[in-house]
Every structure is written in C-alpha cells, then in structure tokens.
Amino acid sequence: MVEVKTPLSPDTDMSASALADRSEVSLTKGQLQDGDSSQESERKLTPYERLSYDLSNDKRCLKEITLGKRIGFYRIRGELGNGNFSQVKMGIHSLTKEKVAIKILDKTKLDQKTQRLLSREISSMEKLHHPNIIRLYEVVETLAKLHIVMEYAGGGELFTKISNEGRLPEVDAKFLFAQIVAAVRHMHDMHIIHRDLKAENVFFAGPKTVKVGDLGFSTFSQSDETLSTFCGSPPYAAPELFKDESYFGVFVDIWALGIMLYFMVTGIMPFRAETVAKLKKCILEGNYTIPPYVSDSCQFLIRGILRPVPQDRFALDEIKNSDWLEGEDFPEPLEPYQLNPSLQMAGLPDEEMEARNYLKELGITEEHFRQTSGRDSRSSITGAYRIILHKIHKKHSNAEDYLEQNNVNHQYNNHGYRTGKENNLQRGANIQKKESRMCTIL
C-alpha cells in the first residue's frame, strides 16, 4: 500500500493559503477488489491530486518554488513590467494551462497608505463585471510577498501601439474608445472612480478588443462626494487637480477620457511641456489645438470633454450619444455571477454549472468548495473556478471575440501590464506630484 498525502506545512516560499486549500489525498495502490483475487485495481490521480502531490514531492516543482518560479498553482514566466515596489510577470495556471498576469509586491516595502491602495484595488476588481475590464482571479500571500493574479491581455498597451505605429485611423479609434467608455461607465455605475485612466492602462486582449486595467488608484465615491487626493499622471490630470482643492471623481475620469481620445486620433498629447510648472500652466489655461485632419465630429467631442469647468464637460451619456460615436457598440456589463463557487447547486446558471463540471473533471469536488468557503480570492480553488468561468464567459459571449482573444499573436508589445515608473512628460508620468497629497505608483 502506498499512501500519498499533501503537506500541512509551508516550504521555502509556499503560500499558506495554497496549502490550506488542499485536502489530504490517500490512495491505495495494488489493492485487490473484493471477491476478485486475480484483478488489481488502481485509481489514477486526478490532475488536482497530481498537482497537489507534485508541489511537495516533485524535485522540479520544489526547485521552482525555491527559485521564485512558482507560486501556488502558477508557474511564473517572463516579466511584463516593473514598479517601485512591484513586478508584473506572466504566469501559467498549472491545472487549466491559462495565461495570467501576476503582480508581485514586496510586503516589507509597503507602508500603510500603499496597503490601503492595494486593498482598494482588490476590492474594486471584485466588484466590476465587464468584458472590457481586467478581471481578478486570485490573491496569493507568502511571508514576504503578495501576489495579485489577474487576467492576461497579451496584446500590450494602447500607448505602445500608438507610439510604435502612429495615430489610429478614426474608424479604429471609434470602436476601441467605445469599449473604454463602456468600461468607465460600468465603474461609475458601481461608484468606483479609476483616477488613473491613460493609454498605458488600456491593454489589447485582441486586435479589436481592449480592456481597462491597473485600478491601483481607484476609490469608491458617491456622485455627490468629493475627493482630495491627487492621483494618476499629470498630463491626464484635470485642471481642478492642480488647484489644490477637492474634486468630483467622475469629472476627473471624464477629462482623462478626453485626453486619451486626443492621443488616440493624433498620436500626441494635447498638453505638452518640459517641466511640471509649464505643464500645469498649459492645462489651467486650456491651451491646446486639434490638427485639421481630425474630423469635425471628433473635434466637437474632444472639445466637449476637455472643458475647464468640471460640470460643463460632456457626461458619459453625451459621449455615447455623440455624432462621432453614432452606431458604435458599447459592451454591456456581464450578468451577475458568483465570484466564488456556491455551496448551493440548485438554480445555478448554466455557465457556472459548466465551470463546476470542468472543475470536477480536474478532480476538484464539492468537498473542496466547502473546505475553502469564505476565503474568497485567497483560495486556489476559487482561483481555478474564476479562470474557468471567465473562459466560459468569453466563449459564450461571442465566438468570434473568443477566437480572437485566444489567437492574439502578440503583434503588439507583449508588456501589457505596467506597474509604475514612467519615463517622460510626453508619456505622461515621472512628474513630481504634490508632496502633501499623492498616490504612490506601484
């Protein structure tokens, strides 16, 4: 008899959460069936059991864990971005083989303010269910590091594409901008303000699909509630942010959409300067020009958004109903779904049942769901469930989009997630913000 058990204590950098997810697996090898002394029965390990066993017994897995090349159920691959306190790397989920983006933070370097921002980022991502917003899958914590596992968009940044290839044709800019507007509308409907909308935080999931990500500066705010913290990149900052006064988050996000639209159709920023002081002056004075090759309807929309008085700016409904965006599709939010596997089977939507059946084939059972209940995103079972459910959502929502997103050929820069440290004013970052009130870019 050979007994196989998963470990109950962490190794070098193994997360306690991943270990806690695993129930003991006891297998009998060579056990004879009752009444048949000549036949040997052997139950094959399920993929989940095999992975659980390998993570504490396989030499290659143990070496990867020691070298930081594996965390929980994820094998860590190439680097996607760097920040002051974080890295973003591509990962592969070992059970589903799906690619993910993993934001890795050094816990020893995070002050209380940064920890609050991280908590908001996780909370915001969990509340948002839209096809054009990056999804959160799992949070894996070790003694020294925090890993935020997210949807991977392999096409790279909108900023990188325009920087490398030049301004977008308006016909392309229209359907991409419509997706971004739809994503922001969903955020605002959920009372979430992004506060760092820019081309660097919009990622291609396919040639015709973009997703808004990096909610590290996001916050919850009612429509009549003011904010006071200066966040984001100054070239995208609304005039009221430079006046050292409180502001309404919705209007700040809308201004940033106007800056982004200008960049998409021209390839340059409307407000450009060599110093912070000059940039601030340009924005406060509202000095910008729109090249004559931009269509009249697009110019009208840009000018309607980039108005100095916040309340005078076009609302999102006015943007959606503008002549320039006439006939464009604005993707709707997804139907409400369970972020965590439900313990009640009755009445589950077909997509969630399909996800559970897929998990069952991998060896993840109702008992595993019960054992990890209440742990939400800090569970590898929940991580696997969310990854599979997302794949099913993409497949069911639109077969063409699903094929597009799963066959993206990395024709754009493959560094689709940024975590901070921009390089120049034209790019819209690395400008010293007000010392008294600022968000730290991760």
In contact, 102 and 71? CB cutoff 8 Å: yes
- Is the CB of residue 372 less than 8 Å from the CB of residue 16? no
The model's pLDDT over 264-281, given as tens digits with 9 standing for 90+, comes to 999 999 999 888 889 999
Residue 196 a catalytic site member: yes
Mean pLDDT (whole number) for 129-141: 93
At 2, the pLDDT band (50, 70, 90 cuts) reads: very low
Q: Which of 21, 196, 214, 253 is catalytic?
A: 196
User: What was the pLDDT predicted at 417?
Assistant: 38
Nearest CA to 146 out of 172, 111, 118 is that of: 118
Q: Convert the pLDDT of each residue in 404-427 to its tens digit.
A: 555 444 343 333 333 433 333 444
Q: In what order do the strands lie in the sheet with 86-93?
A: 70-71, 74-82, 86-93, 99-106, 145-151, 136-141
Instruction: Tell me the mean pLDDT in the region 78-89.
Output: 80
Residue 103 assigned as binding residue? yes
Which one is predicted more confidently, 252 or 430? 252
In the chain, domain spans: 1-72, 158-320, 350-406
Q: State the pTM of this model.
A: 0.80
Interval 175-184 mean pLDDT: 97
What lies within 8 Å, CB to CB, of 77 at 6+ separation is: 89, 90, 91, 92
Q: Per this entry, what is the length of the chain?
A: 442
State the burial class of residue 274 (Cβ atoms within 10 Å of its Cβ: 0-12, 13-18, 19+): exposed
Does the pLDDT at position 176 exceed 50?
yes
Higher pLDDT, 392 or 414: 392
Residues facing 138 on adjacent strands:
149
Confidence of residue 368 (pLDDT cuts 50, 70, 90): confident
Residue type, 173: A
Residue 194: which of 137, 243, 247, 232 has the closest Cα?
Answer: 232
- The distance from CA 231 to its chain's CA centroid, rounded to whole angstroms, is 18
Architecture per CATH, domain 158-320, reads as: Orthogonal Bundle (1.10)
Tell me the pLDDT band of 440, cut-offs 50, 70 and 90.
Answer: very low
User: Beta-strand (E) ranges in 164-236?
Assistant: 192-193, 202-206, 209-212, 219-220, 226-227
Averaged pLDDT, 21-45: 48
What is the C-alpha separation between 105 and 16, in angstroms, rounded? 17
Cα gap 120→417, rounded to integer Å: 18
pLDDT (mean) for 239-262 = 93
Kindly state the tokens that stand for 104.
């890795």
Query: pLDDT value at position 89?
Result: 93
Of the candidate ranges 96-100, 172-176, 244-248, 322-326, the one whose mean pLDDT is the lowest: 244-248
Q: What percent of the chain has pLDDT over 90?
A: 49
Lowest mean pLDDT among 117-131, 324-338, 389-403: 389-403
pLDDT for 161 equals: 95
Cβ contact 34:61 at 8 Å: no
Pair of tokens at residue 336: 């409400």
pLDDT of residue 377: 79
The confidence score (pLDDT) of residue 20 equals 41
Rounded to 5 degrees, φ, ψ at 42 are: -140, 120
Condensed to tens digits (0 to 9), the pLDDT of residues 40-82 reads: 446 788 998 899 889 888 899 998 888 889 999 999 998 888 7
Structure confidence at residue 84 (pLDDT)? 63
Alpha-carbon separation of residue 422 from 153, 240, 428 (angstroms): 20, 23, 7
CB 305 within 8 A of CB 315: no
Alpha helices (H) along 5-68: 16-21, 47-57, 59-66
Contact 140, 379 (CB under 8 A): no
CA angle 333, 338, 341 (to 5 degrees): 150
